[in-house]
């Protein structure tokens, strides 16, 4: 090229169009030129001669697309910058509008408070007017019963029947005895039974037995007997349903309590009824106030009958010699616990048929359920809360809160709208996790081994491996069926079924385990572990039962919450076994790991919160800096434009200086906007991480609560059965006793026994009995 070489051309191209893509084509030997082009020309790609035509075309096409993408990105960045400027001014105006709206809202709230005060005053006035009792004279005149003779006749009849009815109601009721009275007979026996309806209403209100709202609204021609029955039932209801929330100090009947009127007070065994009786020594001047004071002194404060009824009792020659029920407690009502109903077999997985040589035939696994989409899997019946009661002493009789049960929806399932039913969202095999989540999934089948050809297996369903799980590989999922596990890591929410053995592996399952043998492995299981042959040099933590009736347990440490069914334990040459029955070691290990994870997550959350606070402060400072730069830039641009349009133009030097200042501010703003974008990205990532960590902590805490409930419901047995023998040196641990056997024991059962001596001291010991 004339006047310049390739390197000079690249430098000039970079100056004219910095964003253009530059490709260098050179000889292999021209290393100095290539180095200069990379450093000075900032080339993006290079090709050596001779080059492949397809490679060149591909490189040019790639550079073109890269240029287009960067151009679009720069356009978007510029658009965002402008939007940030507009957003700043919009926010400022919005803040001013918000202040005005807040002031208007405060004024409206003040007006609303004034209107509420006026409404409350008016409501109280209406209530006062509505509760006024009608004048007796007006009522008598309205029913044409204003003569003294008619009034006395009606009042006498009502008083006589009220006296008999109320006193009969308050007597102790014997189930086999005839009714104490007949309402209809009482009223039909009196020729003045046609008593006006309004008079009965008014008299009932006067004696205070019932409230007006509790009386039936009957026309005057209705039978007075029916009206009396409704009124008495309303009165009884009111007496038994008085509020139990006003308590007095609890006390029982004390002979030392002053009893100047010589009353006899008796309380039922359940403290639900109180009775008084007037003795021959009772003063004839006794009043209802005297009785109420004595009841209060004895602590009887709830369900006491009305004062008017007590006066009627005291003035009755017939009933004052009988026992009178003065107070009635409120019985409690038990609630009902929630229940879960599963519409599939939650424990259907079977290892298969155990053959004579101890292997397991997986062809004979029994029926495995398969459900269709939309099938009902489980439903929950919510618990019903009970109602607290109250004794006549004002003591609340508390009922237990109904027990709730967890119903969870996992992969392949969905809740009903009310959250009380779980349906299958897909076809497949149902299962249940340790926490109670229901899942549905098809079988995932591997025709060979789990190894380098398959990699790690993570599948939330039933996994079937027709070969073995090889050393160094992981299987995580629902349930696993395989021939053998060797040096692998297994983490399942369901069951593990192994035809051969588990060797040099770490296994954690939420269900049960079946295998031919276990060697040099660590096993954690929520349910039973069934091993056909032997358990050697292993550690097992089980919340179910350890079953090994045909094999040997050698040099192993096993904790089984529900005890052991063993064949032979230990040998003469092996190190002794440590067996723990009825101990919650599996639960403690699980919870310890969960607590450790929650603690680590909380530390990460604290670090994220600190980082978020720092980033927010940086963002605030950066926003202020951007605002200052943008304001200065706008001012300089206005001054520069004004100077250009003025009659006396700016000098060349002044114009140049102002243009340089504007360009410098523009460049600074570009850098600030880029920094702001990076900071926003960081803030967004921190917030996302915080949300994930918070959700994980909440999930772990909920899972821990659910597991605690499940562990509490698991059977616990401090028992060990040995069908053949237990060798000397074996260490047996139960919840309260640890012992080392000093001699061999053949065919025996060992249980922890509790014993209480004459001094009521509790002792525990391990009892060894022959196995029947």
Global pTM reads 0.51
Same structural domain, 520 and 568: yes
Q: Is 288 domain-assigned?
A: yes
pLDDT digits (tens, 9 = 90+) for 596-606: 999 999 999 99
Task: Report yes or no on 481 lying in a domain.
Answer: yes
* Residue range 480-491: mean pLDDT, rounded: 93
**Cα 336 to the center of its chain, rounded Å:** 20
In which band, very low, low, confident or very high, does the pLDDT at 264 lie, cut at 50, 70 and 90?
confident
Does one domain contain both 555 and 602? no
Residue of 470, 407, 482 lying closest to 444 (CA atoms): 482
608 and 683, same domain (yes or no): yes
Name the pLDDT band for 381 (thresholds 50, 70, 90).
very high
Same domain assignment for residues 671 and 534? no
Indicate whether 704 and 656 sit together in one domain: yes
CA distance linking residue 636 with residue 632, whole number of Å = 6
619 in any annotated domain:
yes
Rounded to an integer, the average pLDDT of 579-598 is 93
Q: Is residue 67 part of a domain?
A: no
Encode pLDDT of 111-138 as tens digits.
888 888 888 877 777 666 555 545 555 5
Residue 223 pLDDT exceeds 50: no
Distance, in Å, from the CA atom of 251 to the CA atom of 262, rounded to the nearest integer, reads: 19
Distance CA 479, CA 493 (A): 7
Which pLDDT belongs to residue 182? 42
Range among 306-315, 653-662, 681-690 rated most confident: 681-690
- Report residue 322 as tokens: 């009988």
The residue-averaged pLDDT of 491-519 equals 93
Euclidean distance between CA atoms 434 and 707, whole angstroms: 7
- Residue 241: is its pLDDT beyond 80? no
50 preceded by a cis bond (ω within 30 of 0)? yes
Could you tell me if residue 707 is inside a domain? Answer: yes
* Mean pLDDT for the chain overall: 78
154-168, 288-302, 551-565, 579-593 — which is least confidently predicted?
Answer: 154-168
Is residue 349 one of the residues assigned to a domain? Answer: no
Q: Give the C-alpha separation, 652 to 54, whole Å.
A: 54
Is 668 in the same domain as 722?
no
What digits encode the pLDDT tens for the residues 1-34?
667 777 777 777 777 877 788 887 776 556 666 6
Residue 192 lies in a domain: yes
Domains identified in the chain, total number: 4
Instruction: Let me know: does 310 contact 171? Beta carbons within 8 Å.
Output: no
For residue 183, the enclosing domain spans 137-240
Q: Is 729 found in the same domain as 697?
A: no
Is there a contact between 363 and 351 (Cβ–Cβ < 8 Å)?
no
- Whether 642 and 654 share a structural domain: yes
> Are 658 and 727 part of one and the same domain?
no
Say how far apart CA 339 and CA 224 lie, in whole Å: 50
* Strand ranges inside 466-545, DSSP E: 468-469, 474-482, 484-486, 489-492, 496-498, 501-503, 506-509, 513-515, 517-519, 522-525, 529-531, 535-536, 539-542
Query: Which positions ≥6 away from 482 have C-beta within 8 Å?
Result: 450, 464, 465, 466, 467, 468, 469, 497, 498, 499
Identify whether residues 610 and 693 lie together within a single domain. yes
Same domain assignment for residues 583 and 614: no
**464 and 554 together in one domain:** yes
The 10 Å CB-count burial string (b at 16+, else e) for 634-670 is eebbeebeeeeeeeeebeeeeeeebeebbeebeeebe
The verdict on residue 682 lying in a domain is yes
From its phi and psi, is residue 144 left (phi > 0), alpha (psi between -120 and 50) or beta?
Answer: left
Q: What is the DSSP-derived secondary structure letter of residue 79?
A: H
């Amino acid at each position: 090229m004339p006047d310049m070489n390739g390197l000079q051309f690249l430098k000039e191209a970079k100056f004219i169009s910095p964003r253009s893509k530059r490709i260098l084509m050179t000889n292999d030997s021209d290393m100095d030129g290539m180095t200069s082009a990379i450093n000075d020309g900032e080339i993006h790609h290079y090709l050596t001669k001779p080059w492949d035509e397809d490679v060149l075309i591909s490189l040019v096409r790639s550079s073109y697309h890269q240029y287009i993408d960067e151009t679009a990105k720069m356009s978007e960045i510029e658009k965002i910058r402008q939007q940030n400027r507009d957003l700043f001014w919009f926010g400022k105006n919005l803040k001013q509008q918000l202040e005005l709206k807040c002031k208007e809202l405060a004024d409206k709230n003040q007006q609303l408070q004034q209107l509420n005060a006026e409404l409350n005053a008016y409501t109280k006035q209406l209530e006062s007017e509505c509760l006024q009792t009608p004048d007796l004279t007006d009522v008598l005149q309205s029913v044409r019963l204003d003569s003294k003779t008619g009034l006395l006749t009606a009042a006498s009849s009502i008083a006589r029947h009220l006296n008999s009815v109320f006193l009969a109601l308050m007597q102790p009721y014997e189930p086999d005895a005839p009714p104490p009275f007949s309402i209809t007979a009482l009223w039909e026996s009196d020729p003045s039974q046609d008593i006006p309806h309004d008079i009965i209403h008014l008299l009932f209100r006067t004696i205070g037995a019932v409230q007006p709202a509790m009386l039936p609204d009957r026309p005057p021609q209705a039978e007075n007997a029916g009206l009396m029955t409704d009124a008495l039932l309303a009165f009884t209801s009111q007496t038994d349903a008085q509020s139990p929330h006003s308590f007095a100090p609890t006390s029982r009947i004390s002979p030392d309590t002053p009893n100047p009127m010589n009353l006899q007070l008796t309380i039922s065994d359940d403290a639900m009824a109180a009775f008084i009786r007037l003795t021959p020594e009772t003063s004839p001047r006794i009043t209802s106030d005297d009785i109420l004071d004595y009841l209060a002194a004895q602590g009887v404060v709830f369900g006491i009958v009305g004062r008017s009824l007590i006066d009627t009792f005291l003035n009755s020659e017939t009933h004052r010699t009988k026992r009178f029920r003065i107070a009635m407690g409120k019985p409690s009502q038990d609630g009902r616990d929630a229940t879960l109903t599963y519409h599939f077999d939650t424990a259907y997985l079977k290892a298969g048929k155990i053959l004579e040589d101890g292997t397991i035939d997986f062809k004979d696994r029994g029926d495995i359920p398969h459900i269709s989409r939309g099938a009902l899997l489980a439903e929950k019946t919510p618990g019903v809360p009970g109602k607290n009661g109250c004794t006549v002493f004002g003591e609340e009789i508390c009922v237990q809160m109904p027990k709730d049960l967890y119903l969870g929806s996992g992969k392949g399932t969905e809740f009903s709208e009310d959250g009380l039913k779980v349906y299958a969202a897909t076809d497949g095999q149902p299962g249940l996790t340790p926490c109670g989540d229901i899942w549905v999934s098809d079988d995932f089948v591997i025709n060979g081994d789990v190894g380098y050809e398959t990699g790690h297996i993570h599948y939330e369903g039933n996994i079937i491996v027709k070969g073995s799980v090889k050393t160094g590989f992981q299987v995580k999922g629902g349930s696993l069926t395989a021939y053998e596990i060797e040096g692998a890591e297994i983490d399942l929410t369901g069951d593990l079924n192994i035809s051969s053995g588990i060797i040099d592996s770490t296994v954690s399952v939420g269900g049960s385990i079946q295998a031919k043998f276990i060697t040099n492995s660590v096993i954690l299981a929520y349910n039973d572990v069934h091993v056909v042959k032997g358990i050697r040099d292993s550690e097992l933590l089980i919340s179910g039962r350890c079953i090994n009736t045909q094999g040997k347990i050698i040099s192993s440490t096993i904790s089984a919450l529900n005890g052991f069914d063993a064949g032979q334990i230990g040998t003469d040459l092996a190190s002794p076994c440590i067996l723990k029955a009825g101990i919650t070691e599996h639960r403690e290990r699980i919870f310890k790991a969960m607590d450790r994870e929650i603690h680590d997550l909380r530390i990460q959350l604290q670090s994220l919160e600190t980082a978020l606070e720092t980033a927010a402060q940086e963002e605030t400072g950066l926003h202020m800096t951007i605002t200052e730069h943008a304001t200065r830039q706008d001012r300089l641009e206005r001054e520069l434009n004004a100077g250009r349009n003025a009659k006396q133009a700016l000098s060349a030097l002044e114009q140049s200086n102002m243009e340089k200042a504007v360009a410098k501010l523009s460049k600074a703003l570009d850098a600030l906007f880029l920094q702001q974008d990076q900071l926003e990205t960081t803030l967004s990532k921190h917030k996302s991480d915080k949300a994930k960590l918070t959700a994980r902590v909440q999930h772990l805490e909920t899972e821990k609560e659910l597991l605690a409930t499940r562990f509490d419901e698991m059977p616990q047995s401090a028992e060990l059965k040995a069908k053949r023998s237990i060798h000397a040196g074996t260490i047996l641990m139960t919840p309260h006793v640890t012992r080392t056997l000093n001699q061999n024991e053949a065919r025996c059962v060992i249980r922890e026994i509790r014993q209480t001596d004459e001094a009521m001291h509790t002792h525990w010991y391990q009892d060894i009995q022959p196995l029947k």
